[in-house]
A = this chain, B = another copy of it.
C-alpha cells in the first residue's frame, strides 16, 4: 500500500515548504518536489491545501467506567470520530480503582482498546499508594511502554491522590524517567463547597461551577508544580482552564522549571454561561471538570498558548448521553462529568486560532500534534512530516467549511458542545499509518487497525 500526496504545502512545527509526500507500508519514505513514485500509488491531490502531521489528542477517556456509568464512545467509535477530524493518535488513561493492581487495570484497558481504529497509548493513574504500586510503575515503564502517570487531586472519597501519594509517586517518576501529570483541583475545597451549595438548596447544574471556582484549580496546580520542583521531576498539568493555574505554570516556567500545560478546545471557546441555561439537559451536557469559565479565562488561555506556557491541546473526550447526565437531575454533584470533542478539536483550533491570527500554522501544528509527541517521547515517529515518521497525515483545506452538529458528527453521543459553530478549515483527507481513512467526508475505518504506541522512558541518549 503506497500513497503520494502531491502539490500541497507541508506545514511542520518548525517550517513550511512545498513538497510531495510519499508513504509506503505505513511510513513516510520520501519528501520532495515532484517525487517519482510507483504508478500503483494512490494519489491525493493537495493543491491549495496544507499537509500536516495528524493530530494527537493526549487526553481522552474512551468507554470509561465513571460515576456509575460508562462513557458512550468506545475505542472504536471514538478513534474513528477522531480520524474524521484529522486526529490520528490518542493517549487515553488507565484508571485503577483504589487498591486495584496497576498491571491488572492496564491489561484490562489494553484489551478494551484493541478495537481502536487509530493509534493509541496510555497514561496510567496513581489512585492509591503502597509498595506494589511503586513496583508496578517500574514494570509499566520498563516493559509496557508507559512513560507518564496521572494523579487526580480532586474526586475526594474516590480516586483523589493526597499529598503523601503525590510526593511518593512524583519521586518514583523521577527515578523511572517518567512524567507525572495531574488533574489539578483541590478536592477538599470542592467537597466542602458541594456540601454547602447542596445544603443551601442549590442542586442544579449552576452549582457545578460554583463548587469548582478557578482558585480551586490554581491552588492545586501550584501545589503539584511545587512538589514536582522539590522532587526534581518535570510535570504536565492536564486541562488548564483558568488563568490561576496558567499563572502557576507560568511562574514556574519563568524560574526555569520544566512544566508543561495542556488546554482543551472547549475551554478555549466556551464560557460558563452554559451553566445558567434554563434547560437542565443543555446545562448538564456541559458538566465537566474543571468547568467552563468566564471569558477572561479564555483570553488568558490563548495568551498562554502564544507565550509558550501552554503546550498541547486536548479534549478530555468523555462522552455521556442525556439519559446518563440525568442521574444528577436533583444533585449536580451526581451528573457524570464529561464532554466530547475528539472529532472537532483540530478544526476549532484552526478556526479560532489560525484564522484569527492568534496562531501561525506552525504553532497550530505544534499545539495539536508535535508538542504532545515531544513531551510524551514519541517524536518524530508521531508529530512530524519527515522521512521515517509514521504516515499519520492530515490534508487540510483552509477554505473548506463545516457546521458542527451532533446530528452529523461521528462521535457516539447525542450532544456537541460546539453545536452550530461553522468552522473554516477542515480535513479533506486523513491518513493513518499510510491508509486513507477519511476522504472528502467519507470515513473508511477498520476495527483494530490502530496499534498501541510504546512510549519509552526519558533517558539521556
Contact = CB atoms under 8 A, between A and B. Distances in A.
Interface in A12-28: 13-16
Interface string A322-363: 000000000000000000000000000000000000100100
Copies of this subunit: 4
16 contacts: A13-B14, A14-B380, A163-B163, A163-B186, A167-B192, A186-B226, A189-B230, A193-B230, A213-B230, A215-B230, A216-B226, A219-B222, A254-B307, A256-B304, A256-B305, A257-B306
A257 B216 CA distance: 15
A198 interface: no
Interface of A: 9, 13-16, 162-164, 166-168, 171, 186, 188-189, 192-193, 213, 215-216, 218-219, 222-223, 226-227, 229-230, 250, 253-258, 296, 302-309, 358, 361, 374, 379-380, 461
A59 to B, nearest CB: 23
A168 to B, nearest CB: 7
A134 B452 CA distance: 53
Nearest to A14: B14
A385 to B, nearest CB: 12
Contacts of A257: 306-307
Nearest to A383: B14
A246 to B, nearest CB: 9
Contacts of A226: 186, 215-216, 218-219, 222
A322 to B, nearest CB: 32
Output the residue of A188, A193, A250 with the most chain B CB within 10 A.
Answer: A188
B216 A256 contact: no
A307 B259 CA distance: 9
A72 to B, nearest CB: 34
Given A379-B14, A461-B16, A255 B307 contact: yes
A441 to B, nearest CB: 26
Contact of A167 (B164, B189, B361): B189
B307 A253 contact: yes
A223 B379 CA distance: 36
Given A14-B379, A215-B230, 15 more contacts: A14-B14, A14-B380, A163-B186, A163-B188, A164-B188, A186-B223, A215-B226, A215-B229, A218-B226, A219-B222, A219-B223, A250-B254, A257-B307, A296-B296, A308-B308
A189 B379 contact: no
A327 to B, nearest CB: 26
Given A14-B379, A15-B379, A303 B168 contact: no
Nearest to A18: B461
Nearest to A171: B192
Contacts of A309: 254
Nearest to A196: B171
A302 B223 CA distance: 24
Contacts of A167: 188-189, 192
Contacts of A223: 186, 219, 222-223
A406 to B, nearest CB: 33
Contacts of A168: 192
Q: Which of A229, A307, A309 is the most central at the interface, judged by chain B CB atoms within 10 Å of its CB?
A: A307
Contacts of A256: 302-307, 358
A380 B15 contact: yes
A357 to B, nearest CB: 10
A257 B308 CA distance: 11
Nearest to A166: B188
Contacts of A219: 222-223, 226-227
Given A189-B230, A230-B216, A461 B9 contact: yes
A434 to B, nearest CB: 20
A248 to B, nearest CB: 8
A140 B166 CA distance: 36
Contact of A254 (B189, B192, B303): B303
Contacts of A461: 9, 16, 361
Nearest to A461: B16
A461 B10 CA distance: 11
A168 B253 CA distance: 33
